[in-house]
Amino acid sequence: MGFEKDEVAGVLLAGGLSRRMGGGDKCLRDLGGRPILARIVERAAPQVGALVLNANGDPTRFDGFGLPVAADVVEGYAGPLAGILTGLDWAAENAPAAQWLASFACDAPFLPEDLVARMMTMVAAEDADLACAVTHGRTHPVFGLWRLDLRGDLRRAMLEEEMRKVDRWTARHRLVEVDFPDLETPAGPLDPFFNTNRPEDLEEAARFL
C-alpha cells in the first residue's frame, strides 16, 4: 500500500443544502433499498484510519451509521471548504497519527475503492500538498487529499479573506490531479464520481447497481 492507513483520516461532506433534490439530505435517499450514505461509508471507511461525517443541523438523523458527526466550524453554509476545514480540525483532535485528510462527497455512491491509495501514491511521487480527482478531463475538487498542516492557512483564507471557492485556495499550493478510469458495469461504463444530485440521477444510479 505504501502508507499506513492511520496516516489518513476521512471526512464525508454532507453539509450542503441539496437544493436540486428539493431540500433535505440527499445522502439519506434510498438507492436500491439502502441509503446512499450507507453505500458511501462502505466504500470510504476501509480506505482511512478514522472517518467523520460533516453535516449541519440535528446530528441524530445519522445515528444509524455509527459515525461521529461534526458541524461546520465556519458559520453560514460556507460550502465545501468549510467541510474540509471541519474535517482537518476533527482529524487533528481525534486522529493523532493522521497527516492527511481524504474528503468524499456524499452524493457519489460508486466512488473508487482505491481513491486514497492512488492519491497517496501521486502526492508522494510529485511531492504535492494536495490531490484532487479527475475523470474525462473534469476535476472533482471535493474528492481530494489535503495535508493536515495546511489547516491554519485554510482557516485564515476562509475567515480573513472570506475564501469560498475550492480551486482558488488549492491554486496556492502544490496540487496534483489524479485521473481515475470509468468503472465497468453490466449496464456499461460508469464515471465513478457520478453524483445523485437530482431525482432523475437516482433513477440512473439504480440502473448501474
Q: From residue 84, how far is each of 24, 100, 126 by CA, in Å?
A: 21, 11, 22
Whichever domain contains 171, its CATH number is: 3.90.550.10
Would you say 112 and 92 are in contact if contact means Cβ atoms under 8 Å apart?
no
Considering its fold, how many domains does the chain have in total? 1
0.75 surpassed by pTM? yes
Would you say 26 and 106 are in contact if contact means Cβ atoms under 8 Å apart?
yes
Over residues 37-71, the pLDDT tens digits come to 999 999 999 999 999 999 999 999 999 999 999 99
> What cell numbers appear for 140 in the block?
472533482
Over residues 85-141, the pLDDT tens digits come to 999 999 999 999 999 999 999 999 999 999 999 999 999 999 999 999 999 999 999
Domain of residue 120, residue span: 5-208
